[in-house]
Amino acid sequence: MTSVLVVDAANVVGSRPDGWWRDRAGAARRLHERLLVADTPYDRIVLVLEGAAKGGVRAGRDQHVTTVHAPRDGDTTIIEQTRVACERGDRVVLISADHVLRGRCEGLGARAMSPSWLLDQIER
């Protein structure tokens, strides 16, 4: 069974007041770079970007991290990525602080964790 981490990039980046709002693309790029080198137990990481953040990382796969550009809102894309992975039988963990989004993804079979949990994991 494959383990997949689906990351709501807007929520993770927005969880720390480090000036990300001045450079959303740069903040997305920094998160992507940290995920690339992080020692996590996940086989795949899906990083969902929306809006201006999409300018920081091209869509596609880099090693074990797949970046997905949301065509509209990030939530719809996150739900779709989670649904597909759960239907495939993957073990899915969603990273988001959005309680409605978390509930919808948990209803699909995913487990939800907070942005601070992820940041603690990748900043060790």
CA–CA dist 9, 69 (Å, integer): 11
Tokens 């880099």 -> residue: 62
CA–CA dist 95, 101 (Å, integer): 10
Domain boundaries, the chain: 3-122
pLDDT-above-70 percentage for the chain:
99
pLDDT-above-90 percentage for the chain:
87
Which band of pLDDT confidence, cut at 50, 70 and 90, is reported for residue 20? confident
For residues 57 and 35, the answer to whether their CB atoms sit within 8 Å is no
Which band of pLDDT confidence, cut at 50, 70 and 90, is reported for residue 124? low
| The token pair that represents 46 in the structure block | 């899906």
pLDDT for 6: 98
Q: Which fold has domain 3-122?
A: Rossmann fold (3.40.50)
Beta bridge partners of 3: 91
Q: How many CB atoms lie within 10 A of CB 90?
A: 20
Mean pLDDT of all residues in 76-86: 98
74 Rama sector, left if φ>0, alpha if ψ -120 to 50, beta otherwise: alpha
In sequence order, the 6+-apart residues with CB closer than 8 A to the CB of 84 are none
Q: What is the pLDDT of residues 22-77, one digit of tens each?
A: 899 999 999 999 999 999 999 999 999 999 999 999 999 999 999 999 998 999 99
Q: How is residue 70 annotated by DSSP?
A: -
Which band of pLDDT confidence, cut at 50, 70 and 90, is reported for residue 16? confident
pLDDT over 80 (residue 17): no
CA–CA dist 74, 79 (Å, integer): 9
For residues 28 and 49, the answer to whether their CB atoms sit within 8 Å is yes
pLDDT for 70: 97
pLDDT for 21: 77
